[in-house]
Amino acid sequence: WCHDIGREHAANRPLLKMVFQVAQLRQRFFHSIAPGGLAGDRRGVVPASGFSISIQQIWKVIRENKDLDLPAHKVSTIVVTC
C-alpha cells in the first residue's frame, strides 16, 4: 500500500486520507489517559467486572416494565462488585 500513497488517480486519494486519520487515531490512543482523551474521565462508569450484572439488572427492570433509574442502578452494581 505504501506505493499507492503518491498516486493521484482513482481510489488512491482516499488511501492518503486514511493514512493521516490512522496517525491521528494512534495519537489519541497514545494520549488516551490525558484529559479529553479516549479514556479521559472514567468516574461513574460501570467497570467491566460488573458489566454482566449491570445488564442483567437493566433487563430485569425492562421486563418488569418499570421506569429506568440508571444512577440508582450504578450504585447497586458498585455494591455488588465491591
Helix (DSSP H) and strand (DSSP E) numbers for the chain: 3, 0
What integer pLDDT is reported at residue 19 of this predicted model? 80
pLDDT at 62 over 60: yes
Residue 31 pLDDT: 74
Average pLDDT, the chain: 70
pLDDT at 11 over 60: no
Q: Domain-by-domain residue ranges, the chain?
A: 1-40, 43-82
Residue in this structure with the C-alpha cell 479529553, named with its chain if needed: 36
3-state secondary structure of 76: helix
The pLDDT tens digits for 26-54 are 887 777 777 666 666 666 677 778 888 88
Residues in the chain: 82
Residues 56 and 66: beta-carbon distance below 8 Å: no
Task: Please report, for residues 17, 18, 50, 64, the alpha-carbon distance to residue 2 in angstroms, rounded to integers and kept in the order given.
Answer: 13, 12, 44, 56
The pTM of the full predicted model, rounded to 2 decimals, is 0.32
